[in-house]
Structure 1
Amino acid sequence: MQLTSERAEIIALQVLGWLASDDDLLGVFMGASGLAEGDLRARAQDPHFLGSVLDFVLMDDAWVVAACDTVGLRYEQLAMVRAALPGGEQVHWT
């Protein structure tokens, strides 16, 4: 899957929409990130923030499945979308 950064941002915004639709999970995200509700809206256009949203979702397979089913991605594609956003580069330590 070849992604432009613009397409990755659009998908990440869709995932953010999915996250925002689940009050319980959104509360977990907000608590983990330290954000207030107004911060969420203000930062939604920041590619670095969108990367952190995907980092959060990628922590749990059930969240990945639910998010991908909602936005129409294959499960393995979410990690590819994350890689296309700032901070998502693979680091090779060798």
Structure 2
Amino acid sequence: MQKDTAETIALQGLAFIAENESELTAFLEATGVDIKTLRANASSPHILAGVIDFLMMDDKRLLAFCEEAGLPPETPGEARQALPGGDLPHWT
């Protein structure tokens, strides 16, 4: 997956999180980011990687996001690989 596509999916994920106050609160608590920093850096690849990580922490949340976004459930995992820290080691 291309980085720009992964970032778009993560931005969709951020919008999904932001629509629900309890999800947003949980995201802020899980990441340690405050709302001001989130607003100022929402398009940062590192923040976007955190969004995907947060979505993938809970199957119910992940599936709800994928359903709303019209994405197959494996897509966020593929997107995560294209964002910082998502590279999988290749031993061959």
- Give the structure-1-normalised TM-score: 0.89
CA offsets 1:74-94 (integer angstroms, 9 cap, x no match): 001110011111111113679
Code of the aligned partner of 1:78: P
Match of 1:67 among 52, 65, 76: 65
Partner of 1:79: 77
- Between the two proteins, what is the percent identity of the paired residues? 42
Q: Report how many aligned residue pairs link the two structures.
A: 92
In the alignment, structure 1 segments of 5+ residues that lack a partner are: none
Code of the aligned partner of 1:67: F
> Aligned partners of 1:18, 1:89: CA distance in 2, in Å?
25
> Aligned partners of 1:43, 1:72: CA distance in 2, in Å?
26
- Does the alignment pair 1:40 with 2:6? no
RMSD: 1.5
Partner of 2:84, secondary structure, is: coil
Dislocated runs of 4+, deviation >6 Å: none
- Give the structure-2-normalised TM-score: 0.91
> Aligned partners of 2:91, 2:57: CA distance in 1, in Å?
22
> Aligned partners of 1:28, 1:93: CA distance in 2, in Å?
36
Partner of 2:5: 7
- Does the alignment pair 1:56 with 2:54? yes
Match of 2:88 among 82, 85, 90: 90
